[in-house]
Structures are given as structure tokens and as C-alpha cells.
Amino acid sequence: MKKNTFIAFSVFLLLFLLFSCGSDTEDSEINDLLADFEYADSLQKQVVVSEEIINEMIHSIPPPIEMTSLIISSGAIFDQQLLNDPGKINNYESALLKAINLGIYGTELGYLNIYKKTMLSIDYISAVRTLSKDLKVDQFFDFHTLKRLAASSDNVDSLINISTQGFSRMDAYLREQNRTKTSVMIVTGTFVESLFLATQITYKTPNDQLIERIGEQKISLNNMILMLEVYKKDSELNKLISYFKDLKIIYDEVEIITTYGDPITKEVNGMLVIEDQSTSEVKMNDETLLKIIEKIKELRTKII
């Protein structure tokens, strides 16, 4: 059992993804919002999603730092072989693949930093720079400072903070410029890579907390599909949706039981806060877990 937490995630991915519990109520609300969202046929290939819908969906996808912290606390050994080769950036020709892999490299940069592999992270900073430049959002990152900080493992906190601020400004810009689709693609990359890292590490070093978080992603996966389907008229993206739906078929075998509790009010540092007392339990057998591990690996292979 664990506290059912929801942490607002401001789409900037870098370095820290992963997973939080959701609730059937929130999932239902998001479906209702999407059902109310209408747009002209002529705009279906370049949809501008309302802030309300995007915010609701993003709230269901937690920050990467949660899973990264769980990974290192599980005692798992750093494994560079799990990471996408930064030398592959020239293989990503479409804007969709550039955005998705910007999310992937950003998540991997977080994995490298949490293990203090800062010298290795320089190549990943370069990959982020190249892809963000191709997407015309590189102005939000101080790459000179990032590389300087990466030269020493003593600067990890500063490296994370500067990177996070850059992605935050980038996301705000993309929204203002009606480029929400690009933001969704970046979030897609962080979701896939975080789940891939978690499942591969779990396969090698089983950990109950990691397994529970993997199961909890049933909620986040459903919301990812809802976001992607807004752009289903895009043939390239439609293939991606089909991959996610294949993963969803497996996740349908996962059961999340939520027990709702009355919230309590208490004082924290002189401020009155409301604490959710709801709890959740994930029921997932070993066979289902193995199928998820294989399917997310297969999905990731199709986009890197």
C-alpha cells in the first residue's frame, strides 16, 4: 500500500521521470474533457490542444525524478548499455522522431546525473543541443554552462536545476506558439524511456517498489494514449498510437485497487495543508510483468 500522490508535471522532462499513482476518477475526467474537445477537419493534422486538457493529462504523469530516485535506491548498478547511443541523432529525420528522442535523451541525462556519471553526460548534452536546435527551441538552454558543470560530479544539483529551467521555458514557448504537439511528443519520449529503464532494471534486479511503480503506469499509459489520439490524423503518429495500444492490452491485466480515505488538514511549517489519505494497491503477476518488459522494449526499439 502507498499514498496516492499526484505531482503536477510541467512537461520539461529532463532527468527525472517516472511514475505515480492515478485514479479512475481523474481518468474519467480526462476522457470527458477530451470528448468535449472539438476541432475542424482542416485542423486535425495540426491540433492546438486546450491548456485545460493538457494540464489535466500532465497532472497524471509524474516527474522523472521519482523513478530515477527509486532506481538508485533499489541498489541497481549503473548500466550504460541501456542508454540510447547519442551518435544516432542523425537517424532522426522527422520532427516527430526528433521530439520523441529529445525526451529520451533528456531522461537518460537524468539517469546519468543521478549516478554522477557527469563526464558521460557531455555527449547526451550535445544530443539534446542538436535535437533542440533542429526543433528551434535551443535558445532556452545554456549549453556552455551545462557542459562546464558536467565536467565535475560536484555540480550535479546545479546541472539538474539549469536543465530543468531550460525545459520549463521551452515548454511554455511551445504552448504559446501553438506547438503543443511537440510538447506531447517530448513527454512521450520521457514516458517510454523511463518505463524502459525501470523495466530493464527490474528484470535484472527485482525490487518491489519498482514493480509497483511499473504497474501503476496503467493510469499514465491510458492518458498518454488519449493525448496522442488527438493527433491520430498524422499517419506517422498513428503507428505510434498502435504500439501504445498493444502495450495497453497487456496493462489491462493489471489491477489497481484504490481505497479512498477522508483528507486531513494539518499544519506544516506554519502553513495549513490538506493531505490525501487515499491508498492504492497494484495487483500484477509475474507473467504480466514479463510481458510488459518485453513489449516496452519492443516499442522503444521502433522509435530510437
Give residue for cell 524511456: 193
Name the region of 111 (left: φ>0; alpha: ψ -120 to 50; beta: rest): alpha
Query: What is the tens place of the pLDDT at every residue in 44-54?
Result: 444 455 656 66
- Which range of 75-79, 136-140, 259-263 scores highest in mean pLDDT? It is 75-79
**Amino acid letter, 144:** H
Q: Which of 121, 120, 141 is nearest to 130 (CA)?
A: 141
The strand pairing partners of 283, in sequence order, are 255
Q: Is residue 190 within 8 Å of residue 64, measured between CB atoms?
A: yes
Q: Is residue 187 within 8 Å of residue 10, measured between CB atoms?
A: no
* Concatenated DSSP letters of 207-254: -HHHHHHHHHHHHHHHHHHHHHHTTTTSHHHHHHHHHHHHHHHHHTT-
- Position 193 scores a pLDDT of 93
Q: What is the mean pLDDT of residues 203-209?
A: 89
4 vs 99, higher pLDDT? 99
Distance CA 164, CA 167 (A): 5
Query: What is the tens place of the pLDDT at every residue in 83-112?
Result: 999 999 999 999 999 999 998 998 888 888
Per the structure block, which three cell numbers stand in for 292? 510488459
Q: Is residue 292 within 8 Å of residue 247, measured between CB atoms?
A: yes
Query: What is the tens place of the pLDDT at every residue in 251-262?
Result: 999 998 887 777
- Position 97 scores a pLDDT of 95
Q: How many domains does the chain have?
A: 1
Torsion of CA 286, 21, 79, 150, to 10 degrees: 180
Mean of per-residue pLDDT scores for the chain: 75
DSSP collapsed to 3 states, 92-106: CCCHHHHHHHHHHHH
Check whether 7 has a pLDDT greater than 60.
no
Flag the least confident range among 70-84, 184-198, 202-216, 251-265.
Answer: 251-265
225 is in which domain, residue-wise? 2-301
Query: What is the tens place of the pLDDT at every residue in 224-276?
Result: 898 888 888 888 889 999 999 999 999 999 998 887 777 777 766 666 667 66
Question: What do you get for the CA distance between the two ends of the chain, in Å?
Answer: 35
Q: Is residue 260 within 8 Å of residue 25, measured between CB atoms?
A: no
Flag the least confident range among 64-68, 132-136, 139-143.
Answer: 139-143
Q: What is the mean pLDDT of residues 201-212?
A: 91
